[in-house]
Amino acid sequence: MSTVAPARRARRRQLDSSVIVGIALVAVIVVGAILVSTVGRNFFSPGNIRDILTGMSVLGFVAIGQTLVVLCASLDLSVPYVISLASLIGADLMAGNPANIPFAVLVVLVVAGAIGLANGLIVTKLKVNGFIATLGTGLIIKGYLDTNYKGTSGEVPYEFQLIGATGIGPVPVSTIIMLAVALLAAFFLARTRTGHHMFAVGGSDQVSRLSGLRTARPVIIAHVLCSISAALAGLLLASRLGVGSPTVGTQGGYDLLSIAAVVLGGTLLMGGRGSIWGTIGGVAIFAVMDSVMSVMQVNPFLKDVVRGVVIVAAVAIYTSRTVERRRPRFGPGGSVSEAGSKPIGDLAATKEGAVR
């Protein structure tokens, strides 16, 4: 259900990868619930669940887009600045008037799309590594933000603030929108041609090109969608804060956290394999962890330590499984057909543990 499956066996294996994330999530929830109960609080209280789901929504938006980019074997480090820019442009254009909302949202999405387009073109046409390209565009946006905005700016009308504030039962509207976007993205990956091409290009640029794909297009589209989803996160933050803020993206550390969530969700950092639902699972693990630590009033600095350790440990458990799982295919009895679109990418996987 989660991702494209070149062969039926691959589908089972990929479902497995989502299952691992699910198991990890359940484990985190169980441990969290026990820990929370030790301080006399109820983990499953509606208030706590709402907190967790709210915590998921912003990072969820960013991570959905980041998943697409990472699948294409690129990276997007410019997301925090896109988030800040989106919150500022949105809040400025709305200026407290509900009638401006559609226009403001449209402009924000167009601007974000243009940034993503620039990222994609730099990565594909100028052949700049995604890491450097998006670091550069991020710095450019940061320069623009620092120059033109001295502090919070604009005003978000009450109607738009409701998106960040209301909920159906314990489920916030923002989380529902995020999950809907996740559904769209999963559908996009599993059922559209471009989605399939993303896996192919991420798996092996060379093989896809030799197979007749236009390798640039999926990467560009992934970058555009990533920037747009980051802009959605920015709009959501603006609706929560009531104003636009030039530091809201960087304060959250969304660039590295979203990448961590994507990898936690079982997506290979060198591309070609992964799923949206895994990413959502990774985001949920972060949200549960944060919530548990908040309830237990862990020192905020210690939170970072725990977060760092959990990221590494979780990915270590994950990779040790997948490495075992993948190896036999390249042995004497292995079925290379299952490798689908990325035999070379897998060699690269054994070669280096980093983005290229």
Partner 1 sequence: MTTVSQAPPTTGDRLAAFARNLISPRGAVFLLLVVLLIAITVYNPSFAEPSQFIRFVQRVAPIAIVAIGQYFVIVGGEFDLSMGSLVTAQVVIAGNLIGQDDAKSIPVLLLMLVFGAFIGLINGLIVTFLKVPSFIVTLGMMLALLGGVLYWTGGAATGNPADSFREIGRGGIRDLPIIEILPWSVVVLVVVLVLAIWFSRRPFGRMIVAVGDNATTAAYGGARIWWVKSSAFIISSLSATVAGVLLVGYAGVHPSVGRGYEFIAITAVVLGGVVLGGGRGWVVAAAAGAFALEALFTLLNFAGVPSTYRDAVQGAIIILAVAYAATTFRARRKGHALEAPATHASPDAPPTSPEASQTSPEANQTSPAPRAKEPDATASARPAPIPSTQRADNETKGGL
Q: Which residues bind partner 1 (CB under 8 A)?
A: 122, 126-129, 131-133, 135-144, 146-147, 204-207, 256, 259-260, 263, 269-270, 299, 301-309, 311-312, 315-316, 319-320, 323, 344, 347-348, 350-356
Two structure tokens written together for 209: 């090109």
Q: How far is the CB of 152 from partner 1 (least distance, A)?
A: 17
Q: What are phi and psi of 21, to 5 degrees?
A: -60, -40
* Chain mean position to CA 115: 17
d(Cα 72, Cα 67) in Å, to the nearest integer? 9
Q: How far is the CB of 110 from partner 1 (least distance, A)?
A: 21
Q: What are phi and psi of 64, to 5 degrees?
A: -60, -50
Q: How far is the CB of 258 from partner 1 (least distance, A)?
A: 11
Q: Reduce the DSSP state of residue 292 to 3 states and report it.
A: helix
Between 48 and 66, whose beta carbon lies closer to partner 1? 66
Between 182 and 207, whose beta carbon lies closer to partner 1? 207
Between 48 and 341, whose beta carbon lies closer to partner 1? 341
Q: How far is the CB of 205 from partner 1 (least distance, A)?
A: 6
Q: How far is the CB of 141 from partner 1 (least distance, A)?
A: 8
CB 258 within 8 A of CB 59: yes
Between 53 and 207, whose beta carbon lies closer to partner 1? 207
d(Cα 44, Cα 333) in Å, to the nearest integer? 48
Between 137 and 245, whose beta carbon lies closer to partner 1? 137
Q: How far is the CB of 200 from partner 1 (least distance, A)?
A: 14
Between 157 and 202, whose beta carbon lies closer to partner 1? 202
Short-list 21, 2, 6, CA closest to 262: 21
H helices within the chain, ranges in order?
Answer: 8-38, 46-71, 79-94, 101-124, 130-148, 158-165, 173-191, 193-203, 205-210, 216-241, 248-252, 254-264, 276-295, 300-326, 343-351
